[in-house]
Amino acid sequence: DVKVTQSSRYLVKRTGEKVFLECVQDMDHENMFWYRQDPGLGLRLIYFSYDVKMKEKGDIPEGYSVSREKKERFSLILESASTNQTSMYLCASSLFYGRGDNEQFFGPGTRLTVL
Amino acid sequence: DAKTTQPNSMESNEEEPVHLPCNHSTISGTDYIHWYRQLPSQGPEYVIHGLTSNVNNRMASLAIAEDRKSSTLILHRATLRDAAVYYCILSPKDSGGGADGLTFGKGTHLIIQP
């Protein structure tokens, strides 16, 4: 089975801190994604990557950056955390780029609280 | 992007079939129909997808209307573990250079009564 793991289930940070969220997948998938999920707003795409060192902005990239130095690992970075970035963060991966029949595999999520 | 419309919530009894509807009247001819579900405190998980024909897998069946403007996810025998939010999502067949992420709406909150 494909496994997508995220570094933390729960994280508490202070305003202004630099925050790293790590995601690892073990099935050699090309695509990796970061979403955030907020009540009433559903899941929203922050960034995605279709190859090592490649990244594309999603719907809400402001305040975030990403890094993909290895195929299996995709990091989400909050350069200076703010309270409005308190959310559930979900990482996902899928096999092929540009295919509408791709199945996405999600990690368990990281619930980030910024105080 | 083509949108989907789902009921906010549905209730069913354990061990009975469940039919979850989804309307997607602006679907294009090359959009796949995906269903995902999200159990409490977990990330979403893939359920099934289809393009034109009905599909079956070990989790569920997907019935697609002939005009493709609607679809129905069928859980043949619901269990308490099927209580989740179910999302119906459209995904272009060839997303080309655009974002390959999925657009999740609010989904249907399925409640299973014992």
Query: What is the predicted pLDDT for the residue at B98?
Result: 43
Beta bridge partners of B63: B72
**Between A97, A104, A107, which is nearest B46 by CB?**
A104
pLDDT averaged over chain A?
92
Length of chain B: 114
B30 CB within 8 Å of a chain A CB: yes
Beta bridge partners of A5: A24
pLDDT averaged over chain B?
90
Percent of chain A with pLDDT strictly greater than 70 = 97
Query: What is the predicted pLDDT for the residue at A34?
Result: 96
Contact (Cβ atoms closer than 8 angstroms) between residue B5 and residue B22: yes
Mutate: best of A104, A105, A106, A110, partner B, most B CBs <10 A: A104
Q: In angstroms, what separates the C-alpha of B110 from chain A's closest C-alpha?
A: 16
Query: What is the predicted pLDDT for the residue at B34?
Result: 93
Query: What is the predicted pLDDT for the residue at B99?
Result: 47
Query: What is the predicted pLDDT for the residue at A1?
Result: 67
pLDDT in tens, B68-114: 999 999 999 999 999 999 999 998 876 544 445 778 888 999 999 99
Q: In angstroms, what separates the C-alpha of A43 from chain B's closest C-alpha?
A: 6
